[in-house]
Amino acid sequence: MNSKEDDAVIINEILVRALSDPEYRNQLIRQPSNVLAQYNISDEAKSIIENSINDLTQ
């Protein structure tokens, strides 16, 4: 299982990629579960990202 520090590094990588890659960003917005399934992060980290996307797109 990943530590919170590992999750934080991966979350940062996801966000940096979303900022620089419009296609990836759109996939993350449209199908966050599918995109996040590619990463070895905790369910809590996935939830944080999904909630953040929802907040930003409303």
pLDDT at 25 over 70: yes
Given pLDDT bands bounded at 50, 70 and 90, which one contains residue 39? very high
pLDDT at 1 over 60: no
The stretch 8-26 carries a mean pLDDT of 93
Asked whether the beta carbons of 6 and 16 are under 8 A apart, the reply is: no
Q: Is the overall model pTM greater than 0.75, yes or no?
A: yes
Task: Tell me the C-alpha to C-alpha distance, in Å, between residue 7 and each of 22, 23, 44.
Answer: 23, 23, 9
